[in-house]
Homo-oligomer: A and B are copies of this chain.
Amino acid sequence: MNEITLIPNNSLITETPEEGRKLAVHIARLIIKLTQPDEEKRKEQREIYANDPMMLIAIGQTVATEFATIAAANNYWQ
């Protein structure tokens, strides 16, 4: 496994739901970066994602799952 950081700041705790949501997006993207380390290829792939409705929905599904974990970790910011 190449050595990129997978969890920024090594913590799931955020101050707000908004920051938690950004973290969910971020850690989802870092798994893609881990699997496809080539920056140039990822840039091409982003173009594909952004223009494919089914892929956009699938990205949403992944972020939703990551966010569920982060929200629970933060006790839903209550």
Q: Check A56/B76 contact, CB under 8 A, given A17-B11, A67-B69, A68-B68.
A: no
A54 to B48, CA, bound (A): 9
**Cβ of A66 and Cβ of B69 under 8 Å apart?**
no
**Cβ of B45 and Cβ of A12 under 8 Å apart?**
no
Size of A's binding interface in residues, CB under 8 A: 53
**Cβ of B77 and Cβ of A12 under 8 Å apart?**
yes
Apart from A7-B18, A36-B50, A72-B72, what 13 extra A-B contacts exist at CB < 8 Å? A1-B26, A6-B22, A21-B27, A25-B34, A28-B64, A32-B57, A32-B59, A35-B56, A55-B57, A58-B58, A61-B61, A62-B64, A65-B68
